[in-house]
Amino acid sequence: MLAANKETSNPLSSRQDVVAELSTMLAALDKQFPAGSSRFSLGDTCAHYTTDIARMEGLSRALWGLFPLMASGESTPFSDKYLAAIKQGTDPQSAGYWGETAPYDQRLVEMAAYGLGLALLQNRLTDLFSEREVKNLHTWLNQITDAQMPDSNWNYFAIMVQLGFKRAGLPFDQRAIDRRFAMMDAYYLGDGWYSDGPNRPKDYYISMAFHFYGLIYATLSGEEERAQVLRERSRLFADDFIFMSAADGASVPFGRSLTYRFAMVAFWSAVAFSGLDVFTPGIVKGIILRHLRWWQQQPIADRDGILTLGFAYPNLAMCEDYNSPGSPYWALKTYLILALPEEHPFWQAQEQPLPALAEKRVIPHAQQILMHADDSQHVTMLTAGQLELNNYVNTEAKYTKFAYSSRFGFTIERGRYGIKHAACDSMLLLSDGDNYFRGRRACEEVRVDENFIFSRWSPWHDVQIDSWLVPFGEWHLRLHRVNSARTLQTVEGGFAVMKTDHQLREKGCYLHADNGSSVIVDLSPDLSRQPDSIVTPPNSSVMFAECASIPVLTADLPQGESWLCCAVTASGQQKKYAAIPQLQIKNNQVVIHEPGSERQLAFFI
């Protein structure tokens, strides 16, 4: 978004500011877009699909911003080039033809953007095509109707295409729509939550795919009964999802596809577009615009203004094998708000801060507990039971850590040998004497309670670990009951901050860095762990490129049963933390107390 430096004069406070920001991004793309071409190249890295498809992907994803702008009637100086590219790409007689699709084809993913264009613009788009060109477009897109695709959010790509056909007066298949919705209903969990397919994770695809497309469909399809169901599910989801946003505009990085960046708030753009009655237009506007401003401060574009692969800075190490140079432009889904005219209540509303949010939000369907501290300036997600079965790069780091932070994110594994490469933040890692470390991956059992998340996991067949993650004010506690048939070395980490000198105190490690502070304190009842800190290689953190420091506790575990317990906290401020929680485990009851306070928590395990 944005320039490669962090300086910008665009305050992103009005509709015209947002239009200008999108225009800046489209202008940067235009310089890479040869006249008369149906594709363009944004880099030389590769995805698991061919370069030609990747180049078509980059062009297609720009349309998530361009089509809403066209729908508003705004001047779009770049649209002629894109329309010419679409005509070529869908013409089987053209050298620029995008080709016939295969099962699980990436081009099926990109078709959703064309469905959106037809749905928003209707004949205003098709009138720009000749009769033959409209037929070519319909024939090419219609390949998705019965295409074999992953049983996941991909079903919505076919629905978006059919919605576009319907809205533009082209032949459409209602049975295909009904079939795809029925498939997705099979993994609706309740209270607004889906999984991304059978036994799949609950990550940002639920917001930026299921509910994003669902609200578009509910708004434009004319199907009152289905629209009512979709809107009600999104309304329920919104009450939970707002807890993923911090007061400064950041969101909690979690799961795969983080290179889509500001698509993290695409759901809220769909809320505004659909007029969903959940929060005031000013609150929704504030969530979106603060998030876009947060990204303005991150170095996410190269010297040509092209969005890079990575999260808060360019970082190929964290990317999935389906990320091509054009993939980050799915972020433009958030620009759906530009389909709303200047006089719409969303744009006329005065931007408002987050509403007052509880310090704890338990979300059983997502197997998450979200914690808000420092007046929502810092959001922590506790989670268990998430695992991406496709085993994309750094799956454990993206899904299976104990905690994720809006301010400190997480680190990724940079090598297989040695703790410095092992991404030990927010993890309990164990080694069988060989300096290769294992942590939580699959969970054999997960239970979400009002006071904790429980998980049972086995890093080896003869080692079983029961873990409880317990929110407690600005701290969270981790309790691990380890039953092991082998002697093990253990390292447990807090949140990763920029490299700094560590400060050891009795039973804990306190790190104070330029970007905040991170603390882990040992509360183990019988075994004493040693405080220390680990410095990771550069480009380990998804939030900053510098080497990261992680406060840790280390211990050797004997065979048999052992308890490992700790308290963890972090803040973007240099502050004096509240008193360290006290912990007692007796007769299967856990009692946690804050000294000098009436705050106390008790539960049975």
Q: What is the DSSP string of 155-171?
A: HHHHHHHHHHHHHTT--
Is the per-residue pLDDT at 575 higher than 80? Answer: no
pLDDT one-digit tens code per residue, 301-358:
999 999 999 999 999 999 999 999 999 999 999 999 999 999 999 999 999 999 999 9
Which band of pLDDT confidence, cut at 50, 70 and 90, is reported for residue 1?
low
pLDDT average, residue stretch 365-382: 97
Rounded CA separation 107/141 (Å): 10
Which band of pLDDT confidence, cut at 50, 70 and 90, is reported for residue 506?
confident
Phi/psi-derived region of residue 459, left when phi > 0, alpha when psi is between -120 and 50, beta in every other case: alpha
Is the per-residue pLDDT at 144 higher than 70? Answer: yes
Burial 258-292 (b: 16+ CB within 10 A, else e): bbbbbbbbbbbbbbbbbebebbebbbbbbbbbbbb
**Residues above pLDDT 70, as percent of the chain:** 99
Could you tell me how many helices (H) and strands (E) the chain has, helices first? 15, 23
Rounded CA separation 185/20 (Å): 39
CB 414 within 8 A of CB 423: yes
Nearest to 365 by CA among 187, 190, 184, 152: 190
Whole-number pLDDT of residue 515: 95
The residue type of 348 is Q
Phi, psi of 424 (to 5 degrees): -85, 0
- Four-residue CA torsion sign, 312, 317, 323, 325: positive
SS3 525: coil
Residues 6 or more apart from 352 whose CB is under 8 A from it? 280, 282, 283, 285, 286
| Neighbour tally for 224: CB within 10 Å | 8
Please name the helix (run of DSSP H) or strand (run of DSSP E) that holds residue 456, with its range, or none: strand 453-460
pLDDT one-digit tens code per residue, 430-474:
999 999 999 999 999 999 999 999 999 999 999 999 999 999 999
Whole-number pLDDT of residue 4: 44
Which band of pLDDT confidence, cut at 50, 70 and 90, is reported for residue 7?
low
| Neighbour tally for 301: CB within 10 Å | 21
By the 10 Å C-beta count (0-12 exposed, 13-18 middle, 19+ buried), 417 is classed as: exposed
CA Rg value for the chain: 25
Rounded CA separation 563/586 (Å): 12
Rounded CA separation 102/123 (Å): 29
Residues 6 or more apart from 102 whose CB is under 8 A from it? none
pLDDT one-digit tens code per residue, 121-137:
999 999 999 999 999 99
Nearest to 604 by CA among 451, 397, 378: 451
Q: DSSP for 393-448?
A: TTHHHHHSSSEEETTTB-B----SSSGGGS--TT-EEEESSSS-EE---S-SEEEE
3-state SS, 241-254, equals HHHHECCCCCECCC
Q: Which residues pair with 507 in a beta bridge?
A: none
Please name the helix (run of DSSP H) or strand (run of DSSP E) that holds residue 190, with its range, or none: strand 188-190
Residue with tokens 């432009």: 329
Phi/psi-derived region of residue 207, left when phi > 0, alpha when psi is between -120 and 50, beta in every other case: alpha
The residue type of 39 is R
Whole-number pLDDT of residue 5: 45
Residues 6 or more apart from 481 whose CB is under 8 A from it? 465, 466, 467, 561, 562, 563
Rounded CA separation 527/352 (Å): 49
pLDDT one-digit tens code per residue, 254-289:
999 999 999 999 999 999 999 999 999 999 999 999
Rounded CA separation 224/230 (Å): 10
Residue with tokens 């946003």: 245
By the 10 Å C-beta count (0-12 exposed, 13-18 middle, 19+ buried), 578 is classed as: middle
pLDDT average, residue stretch 169-175: 98
Rounded CA separation 531/528 (Å): 10
User: Rounded mean pLDDT of the chain?
Assistant: 96
Is the per-residue pLDDT at 6 higher than 70? Answer: no
